[in-house]
Every structure is written in C-alpha cells, then in structure tokens.
Amino acid sequence: MDLKKRVEQCLGPENFVVAMTECQGDLSVEVPKRNILDVMHLLRDTPDLGFNFLSDVFGVDNLDLNKPKKKPKKKEEGEGAEVEEESKEKGPLPPRFEVVYLLLCLERNERLQVKVRVEESDMEVDSLYLIWKASDWPEREAFDMYGIRFKGHPNLKRLLMWDEFSAYPLRKDYPLEGQGEERHLIYDD
C-alpha cells in the first residue's frame, strides 16, 4: 500500500523496520525497542506521514503464542511427543511481551500500529510522555497489568490495582480466578 511504502521510506534507511505486517487493511510495523523515541519523532515529523495523534498504548503477552499448543487435537501420544521435541530444537523463543502503539494521522485519517518487543529479562521501554501526554495512563496500565516499566514516565504507579498488589494480572500465567491476594487497609489511629 501507499502507506506501507511511505513508512518504509521513512524508517527503512535507518534500519528501524524489523518487520511489517498487514491484516485486513491495518498496517503494523515492528521497530527495535531502543529506537522507539526516534521512530516516534520520525513518524510525527515527516511531512508525508504526519502521525500526530496517539490513540492508545497497551501491552500484549505472547507467552501462549510462542509456546506450541500443548493440547493438540491428536489422539496419539507419539505425535504429541514429536511436536515437543521439535520445539526444543528450535532457537530461543521470541520476546515474550510486546507494547503496541496506535497512531493516527488526523489530516489523512490513516492509522498505523507500531510494535515493540520486550524481553522478559529486560522489561524497560522509553516512555512517550514527552511526545504525547496521552500515554500517561495507558503506560501506567501496561505497567500495572504486565510489569513493563517505562523509563521517563513521571508517575509510574499502579493504576487499576491497588498499590501493594504484587502480581501482574493480564499475564498469561496469572490465572483468571486470581491468586487470592487480599487488600489490607491500614488505619491511621
């Protein structure tokens, strides 16, 4: 698409494009984590792209996508064992988390998804607060739900769960029923 070419032209020269996918008309571009601020500046300031509105920021946990399906519909055990062996032979798993940014160009009504992959061992991403203040609470929520830290965010505290809550609820290994955390209120007197 025309948008695809323009994005490639803008980000390609500096090797910012790791992957580009398209699904039902939605263009999604993956960029390296350490360059996210530069990418956002480029996307906003390049005249023929002009993405000046940040719609949303959120996290995705790819744990179940990276794993092979452990509940195959096959009945034989032999095949299941083969699949597991295969996966062990493959290289290291792709990074577990992603942070997705939804951008919008107001003049041309074009949308773009920008993705950043975050390893479980290094869960820090630069915050976009100085570019768009709209990322204030969405980044706090991504921290609250997934544990992804945002460097440079003015107030990175939990947003929806209470302060002393210890786990990260939207991760795939957190059960739906919760782990039985309780909130204990402390009274002053």
Partner 1 sequence: MNQNPTSQTSYESDNYVTINIGPSHPSMHGTLRIVAVTDGETIVKAEPDIGYLHRGVEKLGENLTYHQFIPITDRLNYCSAIPNNVSYEMAVEKLMGVEVPEKAQLIRVIMMELARIADHQVCIGILGVDLGAFTPFFYLIIQREEIYEIFEWFNGARLTNTFGRIGGVDADLPDDFEQRWEELKPNVRKANDETEKLLTHNRIWMDRTIGVSTFSPEDALNWGFTGPCLRACGVKRDLRIDEPYCMYDKFKFEVPVGKNGDVFDRYIVRMIEMEESIKIIDQAYKLYKEMPADAPLMARVPKVIKPPAGEVYSALESPNGELGFFVKSDGSAKPYRIRIRPPCYMMFQALPELVEGEMVADLIACISSLNVIAGELDR
Interacting residues with partner 1 (CB under 8 A): 23-26, 28, 52-56, 58, 60-61, 64-65, 100, 102, 106, 109, 111, 113, 132-134, 136-138, 145, 157-163, 169-170, 172, 174, 176, 185-186
CB of residue 77 to partner 1, shortest distance in Å: 22
Is 152 buried (19+), middle (13-18) or exposed (0-12) by CB count in 10 A?
middle
Tell me whether residue 1 or residue 160 sits nearer to partner 1 (CB atom): 160
The residue ranges of DSSP E strands in the chain, in sequence order, are 19-23, 26-31, 53-61, 97-105, 110-118, 124-126, 149-151
Tell me whether residue 36 or residue 99 sits nearer to partner 1 (CB atom): 99
CB of residue 95 to partner 1, shortest distance in Å: 16
Tell me whether residue 35 or residue 55 sits nearer to partner 1 (CB atom): 55
In three-state secondary structure terms, 184 is: coil
Tell me whether residue 9 or residue 96 sits nearer to partner 1 (CB atom): 96
CB of residue 45 to partner 1, shortest distance in Å: 15
Within 10 angstroms of residue 95's Cβ, the number of other Cβ atoms is: 17
Which residue, among 127, 178, 133, has the nearest Cα to 148 in the 3D structure? 127
CB of residue 13 to partner 1, shortest distance in Å: 27
Tell me whether residue 24 or residue 121 sits nearer to partner 1 (CB atom): 24
The alpha carbon dihedral of 94, 88, 63, 72 has a sign of: positive
